[in-house]
Structure 1
Amino acid sequence: MTCDVGSSGGEDLPYVWYKDGNWISAEKIYTIRSTNTWDSGDYSCQAGTKRSDTARLDVVFDLVILQVPLNVHEGDDLTLRCHHRSDYTGKYTKFYKEDSVIQNWSETSEFHVGIVNMINIGRYKCTKAKPWKTLNTYITYTDEAFISIHNLFKIPEIKVTPYPVVEGDEMTLTCDTSLSPLRPRTQLKFAFHKDERNVREFTSYNQYGVQSAQMKDSGKYSCEVTTAANSVKKRSPEILVKIKELFINPTIKAIRYPGIEGDNMTLICNTSLSPLRQRTELQFAFYRDGRNVQEFSSSDQYEVQSIQLEDSGNYSCDVRASNGKVRKSSHFILIMIKELFFIPVINISTFEVLKGDNMTLTCNTSLSPLRQRTKLQFAFYSDGQNVQEFSLYNHYDIHSAQLEDSGNYSCEVRSTSNISKRSDNVLVQIRGKKDADYTLQNILRLLASGIIILIGAFIFYTHMKTVRISKTKNVEDAEERVEEQQL
């Protein structure tokens, strides 16, 4: 028997052997030269200060014994030997398990069970047969042994840290098991599963980590342990890992909703932290139609002073942890800005303006029904140059218009909240009086010429009709003279 400490430095250690608790030797290897029944007992050894477990040795006087390994573990390749004394000739051997034959008579004295597990536990028996002098007569001897199979390692247990797990945490799953003290050097491999799907193949590392746990990492986890030769494989019970939200999905709402352009708008991005992480710093960003309008900051509000029509759109917000590991987006909220007043239209009091005439330009618009009391101011421009400053009057008067008053006129309307809108240009052409008289004379001349042409045409038509009548009468007179001559 050898006292093995599993270390090359063991040669320098003092060794002691014990039988039934009594000292018997001080060597690393203890040898029994010729065994006898009194050598049976419980043996153990000590190397330095460490003492081994006890091993049982039985020496029997029987002719046949069933030899099995001292300690059988699941995954072992097991062979049974039906051994007989040298002075006994046993030619044929038969093996049983629980009185059922597992190998019939054979000249071999061994039975190879193979790789064993817990179903191989039981009572085994072997029988030796020795031919007698009389033909077909045999003398048999039998021995039996109970084979108990030890766990090579315990059923693994999977554990998660930290517990509970919050979004953004570094989550670690550990697969815990322990080897049999008799097989401490066995190499094990570990694999991990989530919802029955493999998330890490077999490796020698018994931990599986997630750097930044997210809600999608929630699920039922288990781990699997196997030997290097895959002779023994065990799986842990499942544990439910439910990742808790660091903060709830944000919602965006208007605490000051703008109905009309010029109003102030305030949007707020609402969320709440997990009670487990109340000290986490959050950052907020805002978007309109998917484009960023306010970068990430510690403020959960977005404000616009004097909102404009172009500020209409779908607004949303994002919230993230300051370490950037968790980020969530809100749904959209539609902000529609209505006009405070319509784009103005400039009107002229008369269609044609002559030099010296009075002219009035009017700037027309209408207020939203929601803001009927709003005060508006009006200004007027000629060729882009201001000709009347902002005032409460929506008209611009020109007394005794001159030619230099001609030009492109427009007006501008603004509110007290500085909403400003401008009309299109209207061309105003001031005409001189001579040009007007000359034009009237030409019109009269054209009318007189037309009348003269009409009278001439009528006289010509009457003359031509008289000529045709005279020609017709002369022809009839000639025909009558010809008939009289014939008669």
Structure 2
Amino acid sequence: MSCPELFRILMHLWLLLLLLAPGREQTRWLILQAKHPIYEGDSVTLKCLGKKEKSIIQRDYYKDEEKIFGGSNLQQIIINSVFMDPGEYKCTASGKLIIPWTETSNSLRIQFQELFPHPVLTARPSQPIEGGPVTLTCETQLSPWKPDVQLQFCFFRDVQTLGSGCSSSPKLQIPIMWNEDSGSYWCQAATTRITKKSQRSQIHVQRIPVSHVNLEIQPLEGQLIEGHKLVLICSVAKGTGNITFSWHRDGRGILGIKTQHSQLAELQLPTVTERDAGRYYCTADNNNGPILSKKISVTVKIPVSCPVFTFRSSQGQAVIGDTVELHCESLRGSPPILYRFYRENVTLGNSSAPWGGGASFNLLVNTEHAGNYSCEADNGLGAQRSEVVTFSVIGISRSRVGAATAGVTGLLLGLVITAVLLYCFGTRRKSGGTSAMGMPSYNPCVHQEPSSSRPPPSNPEEPICSEPLAVLDLQPVYSNVNPENTNLIYSQIQNIQHTNGNLANSPRVHREDTGPVVIYSELKKSHGNDFAKHTSKRESIHEDATGNYENV
């Protein structure tokens, strides 16, 4: 054996004696070190050091007698605390001199300190009222030895994240809570490596039943104009949660329904008609039974339509002195209606129709009243003007027209009566007899005996017609048209003279009857069928030596 080999053996023995020498426990050859204190989430550095580092070939690390790292000669290892639990840690070092050897370090118990405790969720108020706010707080306490660590807080209802997500604030303000928001609430506090959750808390949101339901009409007082918009606003003084509003009208049923998180809702009827008038009300319900509002009467006023303008006259046409009725009527429109009457756009007067319909204005006609007339209807919702009507006036008065008409009529009637009397008078002179009524009668066709101076007719049965009467000249002597203070319309006295020519050719006129004939004619006011009584039954015939006359 050479000297160097012997020397190495002696050195190994000496080292072995040192390891087995008394007092080794106090001065271990191999030790395990770790930094303290260690907080959860921190990275842990384990150092395994020996007195003769050059002689160590391999180091192994253990936790609770179970190797967690080895196979290399690393003096230290870093372990993330996320993957670590409290326990007993140690290391071993091994080498080889003359024979292999292994040295074990001391045991090191590593205890992780809590960075912050599990948070606790609190709600203020603990039993929030529906429609009101609630404040959630995620309460925890960070270690004062870790002032640089930032916590992030998140809030949840069941699995739904509340708010805008996680933030550095431990509080969350919810402005309005509804009954549907009742549920299981929890929160969590977290660092980049540690996350802790609170226990779940049941939060029940209390609901308030609706009360004091009110209906408001716009426009106010329920005065509507046909064609305009009607707004129905239903509100409640109290009531939380989803409130179902409905609008009604007597005799028509439901007009509309809305459900919303609000104590007020409105319904619009864009164009109302006359049929929309009636009594309206609304109801509100948040699952505790519907509550009704008071009923409001709604009236719909109708603007006047274009009026119709007419003239009304008892005589059919207007003359000076007549009273003409100007009538104006709007066929559609809410009363009261004020009517105005115009001539050439100048106001003549006005008349009111408190209950609707038309109105009239009387006009005493004179020559200045001819022109263009119109009327206007107004019930406060806008005036409407009629079409223009032209009015004409006859230039004479009604009395003169009547007198002139009566005079002409009387003259014609007098002529007719005169002709009839002359005809009858001539017949009486020929026949020498009278009619059954005492009036002279005459038949122009009579049977006559043949004379010796005249040849008989070829046919004895053929009647022989008399010659025509002599033409009489009617000379008016006096006439009066419409005398005052009597019912006489027309009177006339006529003198009938026989012309010489006619007398010469009229052998049937006797010489003693050649005197004048005087005819009196009258035309009185007629009353129905009494006309004949006033005219025809007053006839008489008088004859004398100086003249003849008849009075009708």
Question: Scaled by the length of structure 2, what TM-score is found?
Answer: 0.43
Specify the structure having the higher radius of gyration (Cα).
2
